[in-house]
Amino acid sequence: MASLWLWILMSAISIVNGDIEDDFRGLYEVYDDYHLFLGHVSETTRDDIESVGMEFNCHSSVSPEKPTSVHKLRPGDINVVAGIGDSLSTAYAAGAPIFLPVMLNYWGVSASIGGDKSLSSVGTLPNILRKYNPDILGYSTGEGIVFTQPKSKSFNHAVVGAKAKGLPKQARKLIDDLRAHSDVDMENDWKFITLFIGGNDLCSGCSKETSEPQEYLAFIDETLRIFHDEVPRAIVNLVGVLNAYILPELDGSLKCNLVHSIVCSCLHKDGGKEAIYERAKEYQRVVQEHIESGKFDDKDDFTVVYQPFFHETNIPKHADGSPDSSYFASDCFHLSQKGQAAQATANWNGLFEPVGSKRLEWVPGEKLNCPSEEFPYIYTNVNSKSDGLQHGYYQSDVNENPNQKLSKQTFIIVGVIGGVMLVIIIAAIVVRISKKPNRLSLNGSYQRL
């Protein structure tokens, strides 16, 4: 155990020094001891964390024939999932029962790309999609040491500590993996790629290093252009940045204060919290406007959809008004599995809200929405504006009674018939009155010869 703690100390030092990938090449030598240590800390706590699932009562939603247009894409048409971004997408520390200087990535519970177990116990976007297509490829599973690339990571190319400037490199690696995978039909399979990044850019805002909104946007634009030009049949699910200014609400313990002062030091400088808030709002604004301008809507088999559910997100509160820290990992910075599941739910529901009418916040405990039978497609910039399409979704936990549906139809029919009859009666009265002889006034002023 002494060697374990020595490794943790050296790992922390190496991270601070920046020699990350080289210093982590030999970490598998102590991985088993480290994993065993975590497993014995609190099995009860870990079991509680690993049971954040979702109820699913949606109908099948697969196109009769594979669609050729991304604007007619249903959930069951998706064959491949992938993700790029930072530690929120690697699910760093999401399942850690206690705080340690260096923790694991819990890839299998990542909201964007995790696929551990099943939806009933682990709420993620891929686990929802697997309800429509059990053979979907690309989701990551399990857990492991940061900066390693086990096969279980699959098409999750997010990197701990990444900033927007690293996205083009992640995109290139992902494309290489997609092309090399024997079970991926690059030309015909529909791919769902989630891009979520920005926390590290915000927290480095004091130094201005690649943190200006236009620089941030430029790297995202470059990444999207790579996908646009090289990945056919793809929809990029771009999640707006989570505003880091909310983190100080978790302060109070020595642990949280220490972590925040190290990983997001800007928050603790004069005016830092307000500066990060404003910068995050600018990130959100410039990216959303860029995506919804239609720049990436010039191909029928590719699009980018912006998801703004983090725009006005606040830390959930207990009944007494105190912050509910259960949505955050033990390091007070990353999302716990509960937080990851909340993100997945909000993101999924956003897929079935038209562009321009998407919610700007997520609500703790919200249910999964299902694509409606009238409009079963994932909303895009294009189909959200199409005339003649019926928009909407229905709640997965509400099953409409067929008798109630018939009653509604009967009511409508009776109402229409009644309205027509009323018009006929009024018309008959008017005609009858018009045929009666005009009464003349006593003084004869209205008599006509």
Describe the strand order of the beta sheet including 302-307 as a list of residue ranges.
78-85, 190-196, 234-239, 302-307
> What sign has the CA pseudo-torsion 171, 172, 173, 175?
positive
Residue 38 CA to residue 436 CA, distance in Å, equals: 97
List 86, 116, 189, 201, catalytic entry: 201
- Give buried/exposed letters for 102-120 (b at 16+ CB in 10 A, else e): bbbbbbbbbbbbbbbbebe
Eight-state DSSP code of residue 109: G
Structural tokens at position 371:
């694509």
By DSSP bridging, strand 302-307 and strand 369-371 are unpaired
What's residue 340's pLDDT?
A: 97
Query: Which positions ≥6 away from 122 have C-beta within 8 Å?
Result: 50, 52, 53, 108, 109, 114, 115, 116, 337, 341
What's residue 160's pLDDT?
A: 94
Is 87 marked active-site? yes
Is 36 in contact with 163 (CB distance < 8 Å)? no
Query: Which positions ≥6 away from 276 have C-beta within 8 Å?
Result: 202, 203, 205, 243, 244, 245, 264, 266, 267
Tell me which amino acid residue 428 is. Answer: A
What's residue 199's pLDDT?
A: 93
Is 61 in contact with 394 (CB distance < 8 Å)? no
Is 46 in contact with 275 (CB distance < 8 Å)? no
What's residue 163's pLDDT?
A: 95
List 11, 71, 77, 87, catalytic entry: 87
Is 334 marked active-site? yes
Residue 69 CA to residue 64 CA, distance in Å, equals: 14
How many Cα atoms within 13 Å fall on the side-chain side of residue 61?
Answer: 24
By C-alpha distance, which of 180, 294, 182, 165 is closest to 228?
294
Task: Determine the CATH number of domain 42-395.
Answer: 3.40.50.1110
Which pLDDT tens digit goes with each residue over 19-57? 444 444 444 444 444 444 444 443 434 444 446 889 999
Q: pTM for the complete prediction?
A: 0.79
What's residue 398's pLDDT?
A: 37
List 71, 290, 311, 334, catalytic entry: 334
By DSSP bridging, strand 190-196 and strand 78-85 are parallel
Residue stretches of the chain with pLDDT short of 50: 1-50, 388, 397-414, 416, 420, 430, 433, 436-449
